[in-house]
């Protein structure tokens, strides 16, 4: 995971004081919707060792900074270090979330990552509307699989009409994420299709297009005739649902999820 950036030197107590003493105001937040649903998580094999307290405080500082930044930004990447420990991390929210809902989504992730990954020195936790990723400096890098997770509907569609519609829709999403005004986010809901794709914000246009093209290939090869699917790559995601009778008010399709290998 490439999370390098200019480090911030900030002990955990400074983050606590920031929230408690600086007049920090949390905006009114809408009730959590489907953006807070857990999609998947992955945890590094290495766990905290001596000095445990230093690592815990540094990680808490990082997570506090990321949470605070989510009030005003949909993407942020940084690193935090002290004399004994250093962590790098980032968060990103779905492109259609408001600032308040982005914060509401991201603020759930520190406690969730603690519960799911414990004392792991690295983690990625993906909710429907946001994700967080972090790792300690010096953690042995494993070859990150390009496909992180996929979810394919068990409901399938057959026939050339479905194939043609899917091909056209995927071509539209590949073009849409590369539009300079979209910041790597594309969402279309019309007729019989609901499409969404998003790239990590620090990718350039060509990298974003290449990542989404790879996600489309995974969807075609892995989900085949499934009427809906979610594909999570290392730096982008793709989701789609086809409705032969038009898009309903609610989405009840379900499927089985699989981690990438």
pLDDT at 249: 59
Task: For residue 188, list its beta bridge partners.
Answer: 195
Q: Which of 101-110, 133-142, 190-199, 216-225 has the lowest mean pLDDT?
A: 133-142
Query: 80 or 162: which carries more pLDDT confidence?
Result: 80
Q: Is the pLDDT of residue 108 over 80?
A: yes
Pairwise CA distance, residues 209 & 203, whole Å: 9
pLDDT tens digits along 237-252 = 999 998 877 666 554 4
Which position has the token pair 């071509």? 171
What average pLDDT does this structure show over 97-108? 96
Average pLDDT, the chain: 80
Pairwise CA distance, residues 124 & 96, whole Å: 21
Contacts with 127 (C-beta within 8 Å, 6 or more apart), sequence order: 35, 36, 37, 38, 39, 105, 108, 109, 112
Confidence of residue 24 (pLDDT cuts 50, 70, 90): very low
DSSP of 36-58? GSEEEEEE-S-B--SSHHHHHHH
Contacts with 28 (C-beta within 8 Å, 6 or more apart), sequence order: 100
Pairwise CA distance, residues 145 & 39, whole Å: 17
pTM over 0.75: yes
pLDDT tens digits along 143-196 = 555 899 999 999 888 777 788 888 888 999 998 888 867 789 999 887 788 899
Asked if 61 and 10 touch (Cβ cutoff 8 Å), the reply is: yes
Q: Is the pLDDT of residue 29 over 50?
A: no
Residue 250: how many CB atoms within 10 A of its CB? 5
Pairwise CA distance, residues 51 & 54, whole Å: 6
């Amino acid at each position: 995971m490439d999370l390098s950036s200019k480090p911030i030197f900030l002990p955990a107590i400074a983050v606590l004081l920031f929230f408690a003493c600086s007049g920090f105001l949390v905006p009114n937040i809408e009730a959590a919707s489907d953006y807070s649903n857990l999609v998947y998580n992955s945890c590094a094999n290495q766990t905290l060792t001596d000095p445990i307290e230093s690592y815990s405080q540094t990680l808490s500082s990082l997570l506090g900074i990321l949470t605070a930044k989510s009030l005003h930004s949909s993407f942020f990447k940084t690193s935090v270090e002290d004399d004994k420990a250093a962590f790098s991390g980032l968060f990103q929210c779905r492109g259609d979330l408001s600032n308040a809902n982005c914060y509401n989504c991201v603020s759930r992730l520190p406690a969730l990552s603690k519960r799911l990954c414990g004392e792991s020195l690295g983690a990625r936790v993906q909710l429907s509307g946001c994700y967080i990723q972090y790792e300690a400096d010096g953690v042995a890098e494993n070859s990150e699989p390009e496909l992180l997770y996929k979810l394919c509907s068990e409901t399938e569609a057959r026939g050339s009409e479905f194939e043609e519609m899917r091909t056209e829709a995927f071509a539209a999403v590949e073009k849409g994420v590369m539009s300079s005004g979209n910041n790597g986010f594309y969402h279309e809901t019309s007729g019989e299709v609901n499409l969404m794709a998003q790239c990590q914000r620090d990718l350039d246009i060509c990298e974003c297009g290449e990542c989404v093209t790879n996600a489309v290939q995974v969807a075609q090869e892995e989900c085949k005739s499934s009427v809906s699917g979610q594909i999570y790559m290392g730096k982008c995601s793709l989701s789609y649902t086809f409705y032969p009778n038009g898009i309903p008010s609610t989405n009840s399709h379900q499927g089985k999820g699989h981690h990438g290998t």
